Amino acid sequence: MTTATAQAHPNIALIKYWGKSDEAMSLPATGSLSLTLDIFPTTTTVEVDEALTADVFELNGTVRDDDAARRVSTFLDLVRAQAGTTAHARVTSTNTVPTGAGLASSASGFAALAVAASAAYGLDLDEAGLSRLARRGSGSASRSIIPNVALWTEGDDATSYAREVPAPTIAMVVVTLDAGVKHVSSRVAMRRTIETSPFFPAWVTSTRTSLDEMVAACAAGDFTRIGELTEANALRMHATMQGAEPAIRYLSPASIALFDRVVALRAEGIDAYATADAGPNVAVICPPADAERVAAALRETTDALPGVNASVLVAGPGPGA
Ligand code: 2P0
């Protein structure tokens, strides 16, 4: 019996991954760039046990027998194939991310699982190998292997993985508006966007251009340009999926109110820029020195909204898995 434990943190993309070029291999239509956070870690233990007749997946103290458990088993099949064994495993995971709320719980989840499972099954993978493996579990998990700012490139199975790129220190104020499970999974929503949104080709073209510019802005430490590219790319992603049929709309009125407040903060001279993933939650990047002021402003905004129960947290750059 061999046991290994790993911890990973969620990441939020500043240039988004939205759409696959190859679903089976989890290859993205474009590259993306993200900030790994220092909040909401997932801790996962993998225990390889020859005596087991099937994998067992326990999440936050509950044994699961659902799609989540099947996804874990399918992922372990990849690891077993590489390790040349058929032994099953007991996977015990503690996830502090609000699961399924669009806060990238699958990113920290599959990054932690990739590191723990590869160690437990005796695979000797370097950082790129771990990122490639994590990618197969969930695309964005490839980035949670990496500390701080991660660039996940498009390419084939061998070349599509994330690596750290130089960047200034970025703070992120995370506003959780709805910790409930989202209506349409990212996976389904991406597929529908590709199949039905006439804006998808423009999304691919503009994201490639923005990604190149973002890598350059990060290297130059140009916070304002990083922010401008971040907010524009997030709004373009949401516009692209709103062009699908039926439309996919994750942003709520509260999300829009937060985007508006961020525009107002800029008018007050604060370098703050908003982004949002596959859910109503909003994340705002700013220089670390402004983070508490931004958080206070966003709390004021959500407190004034009727029926909205928000939590506002300040995050910084997090470690790799
Ligand atoms: C991102 N998202 O770049 C984008 C922006 C959500 C919005 O990556 O199908 O859970 O497992 O590869 O990684 C969410 O998608 O999707 C995501 P799969 P994943 O962070």
Q: What is the CATH number of the domain that holds 245?
A: 3.30.70.890
Identify the pLDDT of residue 100. 47
- The amino acid occupying position 279 is G
Report the nearest atom of ligand 1 relative to the CA of 138.
11
**pLDDT score of 193:** 98
On the question of pLDDT at 182 being above 70, the answer is no
Q: Does ligand 1 come within 6 angstroms of the Cβ of 151?
A: no
What pLDDT sits at residue 139? 97
Q: What's the average model confidence in pLDDT over 259-268?
A: 98
What pLDDT was estimated at residue 249? 95
Does the ipTM exceed 0.95?
A: yes
Q: Say how far apart CA 265 and CA 272 lie, in whole Å.
A: 7
- Answer yes or no: is 110 within a domain: yes
Residue with tokens 């402003």: 297
Pair 29, 147 in one domain: yes
Q: What was the pLDDT predicted at 52?
A: 97
Structure confidence at residue 269 (pLDDT)? 97
Q: 179 and 121 share a domain? A: no
Q: Is residue 320 part of a domain?
A: no
Mean pLDDT to the nearest integer, 84-101? 85
**Quick one: how far is CA 175 from the chain centroid?**
15
Give the C-alpha separation, 302 to 309, whole Å.
Answer: 8
H or E element, residue 233: helix 223-242
Residue 316: band (very low, low, confident or very high) from pLDDT cuts 50, 70, 90: very high
The whole-angstrom separation of Cα 302 and Cα 310 is 6
Helix/strand/coil percentages in the chain, nearest 5: 40, 20, 35
Question: Is the separation of the CB atoms in 28 and 17 below 8 Å?
Answer: yes
Token pair for 112: 């932690």
Domain that holds residue 59: 2-164
In 3D, which of 165, 173, 159 has the Cα closest to residue 147? 165
> Largest Cα–Cα distance in the chain?
63
Q: So what's the pLDDT on residue 314?
A: 97
Q: How many domains does the chain have?
A: 2
User: 130, 164, 198 — which closes off a domain?
Assistant: 164
- How much is the pLDDT for 180? 60
Which ligand 1 atom is the nearest neighbour of the CA of 12?
20
- In a shared domain, residues 25 and 121: yes
Q: How much of the chain exceeds pLDDT 90, in percent?
A: 92
Cα 1 to middle of ligand 1, angstroms: 34
- Same domain? For 79 and 9 the reply is yes
Mean pLDDT for the stretch of residues 89-117: 84
Ligand 1 atom closest to 32 (CA): 3
Whether 214 is covered by a domain: the verdict is: yes
pLDDT at 1: 72
267-291 mean pLDDT:
97
Predicted TM-score (pTM) of this structure: 0.96
Ligand 1 centroid – CA 310 distance (Å): 23
Do 119 and 178 fall within a single domain? no
Give the per-residue pLDDT at 222.
98
- Shared domain for 86 and 188, answered yes or no, is no
Provide the pLDDT for residue 99: 53
